[in-house]
Amino acid sequence: MSVATKLKSSPTTVTEPRAILGPTGNRVRVSDEPKRKPEALKKPQRLKFPVSKSPQSVVQSNVSVDSSCSSDSSSSNSSVKTVSSRKTVKRIGVKPVKAKVAPTADEVVAEPSPVLSEPLKRCDWITSFSDPLYTSLHDKEWGVPVHDDWKLFELLVFSQALAELSWSTILNKRDIFRKLFDNFDPSSVAQFTEKKLLSLKVNGSLLLSEPKLRAVVENAKQMLKVQQEFGSFSSYCWGFVNHKPIRNGFRYVRQVPVKTPKAELISKDMMQRGFRCVGPTVVYSFMQVAGIVNDHLVTCFRYQECNANVKKDIKPEIERLTKDVENMRLSC
């Protein structure tokens, strides 16, 4: 046999194809398949080529396998694209999505939530342990402008009594005070005799000392003189502030004074007129409770309420002052 014959017959004696890439991309040799265990056959299958095939056919088969793999991958990619395209369709709004709307009253019947009433914010010296009468004084009287002479006389006596008693004690015995001093009628108290004073000393020994009791009677006499001169004790007191209450607007208790220059001025004038036990501290306490000065803290609910009451009280007072002036002119 010649050498040429041997070279021509060599292509037909190929027993083993070239290595190819499997579906997973791993390089696999066909000759290793018989040596693998049966469990390995469960993995992705590899195509077997007969030995009689030429290398050209093997190349064509490889191309088909590669194309099939690419088709699989393209199909999987297309499926992914389809899913993502569906999501984008929903996002774009081609398929309408029902918006979330709050349920109406007809659809859902909600139970009304209980309204919790917050406690009123008062001045810091009023606490949950304060006497109810003292709290009531703060909420209804303290800082409210007063223009009635009998009421002013009562508040002046209470301000004098603060040197010996507390507000709680005074308010709890308020009815006894009113009974002893004839409802604080200045004209009636001014006529108290020495005998009446002695009876007050016995009956009111638990209330005021003898100097304070005598001061009350003497102050009632001086009030009558002031009424004759100014028309009323109210006109005299409110004249020091131009008939408008002073609004301090303090935020903290430590800012509230015990006395002021205005209180010292009023105290000096009253003592010159014959009033007794009317020092600057007593006078300023009287100004606070009579509403001549509004010393409620700005955080207290009564601060604005007392300011609102000023407009209501000023008009009647002005009308009364006008009438008093006209009566004085007619009498002259």
**Which domains occur in the chain, in start order?**
132-331 (1.10.340.30)
pTM: 0.59
3-state percent helix, strand, coil for the chain, nearest multiple of 5: 60, 0, 40
DSSP character at residue 25: S
User: Among the listed ranges 23-32, 119-128, 309-318, which one has the minimum average pLDDT value?
Assistant: 23-32
Contact 294, 246 (CB under 8 A): yes
147 is in an annotated binding site: no
Q: Tell me, what's the pLDDT at 316?
A: 52
Q: pLDDT grade, residue 54 (50/70/90)?
A: very low
123 is in an annotated binding site: yes
Give the burial class of 186: count Cβ atoms within 10 A of its Cβ; 0-12 exposed, 13-18 middle, 19 or more buried. buried
Identity of the residue numbered 326:
E
Q: What is the CA radius of gyration of the chain?
A: 53
Could you report the per-residue pLDDT of 182-211, keeping only the tens digit for each?
Answer: 999 999 999 999 888 888 877 655 678 888
DSSP for 89-127 reads HHHHTSS--PPP----TTT--PPPPPPPPPPP---TT--
Rounded Cα distance between 102 and 98, Å, is 12
Helix (H, G, I), strand (E, B) or coil at 246: strand
Q: Tell me, what's the pLDDT at 325?
A: 55
Sign of the alpha-carbon dihedral angle for 290, 293, 297, 299: positive
